[in-house]
Amino acid sequence: MRIRLILFLVMAGGAIAQPEGATSSDWPHYGGTQFTWRYSALDQINTTNVKALTPAWLFQTGDYSGNLQATPIVLDGVLYLITARANIFALDAATGRQIWHYTYPEPATVRGTGYRGLAVGGGKVIFGTRDDYVVALDQATGHMVWKVSMDDPAQCSCGINAAPLIAGDKVIVGATGGDSANRGYLTALRIKDGHLAWRWYVIPGPGEAGHDTWKGESWKYGGGAPWVTGSFDPELNLIYWGTGNAAADFYDGDRLPTGAKKNQDVNLYTASVVALDANSGKLRWHYQEIHDDTWDWDSVYEVMLVDLKIGAQTRKALVHMNKSGLTVVLDRLDGSLLQHFYVPEVQTWMDGITEDGKIIGRHEPVVGKSILICPSVDGAKSWNSMAYSPRTGFVYVPANEVCSTLTSADREVEEGRNYMDGTFRFELPPGRTTYSHIDAWNPVTGKRVWSVPYKYVLLASMLATSGDLVFTGNPEGDFFALDARTGEKLWSYQTGAGHRGSSIAYSVNGREYIATSTGWQTSVAGAHAQSLFPDQEWRGGSSLVVFALPDVK
C-alpha cells in the first residue's frame, strides 16, 4: 500500500493540507474524519489506473424497505453497516464475510426515512433509532450494552436517522422533526454508559440569550431540529452543527416578534451554524445563514472543517452549504464570515446577496397564493455530503436544479404535529435539458472551477481521494469516477440500483478498496425527484458493492 503524505501548500486552491481531515487505511467516522472532508489519503487507485477498477466483493443486506442510504464505517479491517430498518452488520472488510448481525426491532409507528449511518468508538457501535432511542452495541460481538430514550416520539413526532458524532468520551446526536411543532436539540451522552452529559436546545428558553427573537410562546414549537451529523475539532474542543428551519416553515406570522427586521438575526438559533463547547454544550458562537426563514431552507447539512490560506493569513475555517445552495466560509474560531458563494444556476427566491452575506429582495410565500421557488424545498443539495480535497483545494458539490410551487397557509399549532403551514408541488425549471451538475468550487475565491451536467438529479454523496479522483453515483445505477482537477469522467460501473448513500475508501493488507451503498431512496427526496421523470424506473436495492484493482493482492 502506498499512502502519500500530503504536507505541501496547494497554491491553486489556497489550502493548507491537514492530515487530521484525511482518512488512510480506515474510514472511522461518518464524514471520514470528524473534520468531514470525505477525503482519503490513499492513492493506490488513481487517475492512471482507475479504468481497471473491478468488483472485489458484494454484500446483499436483505433489507429492501428503504434501500441502502448509509455510510459504512471501517476500523482495523472490519466494516460496520446499518440498513434502512436498522439491521447492523459487522463484515470482514477484505472479503465481505459476516462477523455478526444485530436487528433493532421495528417501531410500531415509523418516523423518518431510514437510517443513514452509525458511529464506532469506545469499543461500541452506536446508532439512533426512529423511535428516538440511542443504542450502543459491543463492537466485538454485536450484543446490546446500553439503550437510552431521548424523548417521547408520540409527543414530539421525532426520531433519529443520522449517524451520531463521536467527540472524545461523548457521543452527540440530533433528531428529526424540523417540520413539526417541537423544539429541536442536540444531546451528548457518555459513551461508557449512555448517561446524559448535556443537552443544548436550538431555541433558547426564557432568560436565555436569543429568547426575545421569538414571538410569545412560539419558541416552544419553533422547530430547528439538527437532523444531520455535525463535526468536531479536538484541538479547539468545539462541536460544529447546522440547525434546521424555523417552524412553521412557510409562514412567520406566529413566530416573528413585532418590529423584527428580516435582515438581522431572528428566530434564533434556527437556520444557523453553531459552535458548542464539547465538554459543557455551551454555545460559543453562531452564524445565522437565513434570517426569518420562510422557504424551508434548513442549515443542517454537513460542516467541513478546513484550514485555508486567505491573503497572507492561514485561517481555521469551515465550509457550509444550506438547503438554498448558499455556501458560506466562516472562521471557525469566532464564526465571522470570510467568503460566500451560491451554487445553483437557477434561483427565484431572492434578488441577491450582499458582501456581508445578507439576503436582499426576498420573494416569500404568500398566504393563499402560489409562488414558484427555485431551488425546491428538497434543496439545491439534499443531506448527501460534499467532499473536499487538500490536493486541489476544491470542494466537490452535487447540485440539483428543481423548483417548487409553494402555497403558504396560517393554521393553529398542534404540539408534535406537522407544522409546515403550507403545501408544495415540484416543478422542473423551464428551458433546461439537464437538472443537476457536479461542481468543483474554490472556497477561497468563491469561484466555480469546473462543472459536469447530468440529465436527472444527483442524491449520492461525494468521495475525494489522493489519487486525484472524485467518486459518486446516480439514480440510474452508475457509480463513476471523475478527474478531481478537470471533471473528466474516467471510469463507470453499472451497479444495478440507484445511488442515494455514500461511498468510502479504505485499505486492508495493502490493498485499497472503494465501497459504495446502492439502492434508490423511494421516499421523500428520492420519490419527489422520480415524480418529475415518470418515464424513469430507478431501481431500489440494498447492496454494498466493493471495488479494487485486480492486480493487487
Q: Which residues are catalytic?
A: 296
310 sits in which H/E element: strand 303-310
The answer to whether 302 and 319 have CB atoms below 8 angstroms apart is: no
Maximum C-alpha span of the chain? 69
The answer to whether 478 and 508 have CB atoms below 8 angstroms apart is: no
Exposed/middle/buried for residue 368 (C-beta within 10 Å: 0-12, 13-18, 19+) = exposed
Classify strands 54-60 and 469-473 as parallel, antiparallel or unpaired. unpaired
Distance between CA atoms of residues 471 and 469, nearest Å: 7
Torsion angle in degrees (nearest 10) through CA of 177, 180, 186, 190 = -60
Exposed/middle/buried for residue 443 (C-beta within 10 Å: 0-12, 13-18, 19+) = buried
Closest by CA to 401, choosing from 455, 448, 482, is: 455
Three-state DSSP class for residue 530: helix
Classify strands 39-40 and 463-465 as parallel, antiparallel or unpaired. parallel
Closest by CA to 187, choosing from 224, 219, 149, 221, is: 149
3-state SS string for 435-454:
CEEEEEEECCCCEEEEEEEE
The answer to whether 255 and 215 have CB atoms below 8 angstroms apart is: yes
Rg (CA), the chain: 22
134 sits in which H/E element: strand 133-138
Q: How far is CA 254 from the centre of its chain?
A: 30
State the sign of the Cα–Cα–Cα–Cα dihedral 527, 530, 532, 534: negative
| Cβ partners under 8 Å of residue 64, min gap 6 | 519, 540, 541, 542
Three-state DSSP class for residue 285: strand
- Tell me the residue type at 28: P
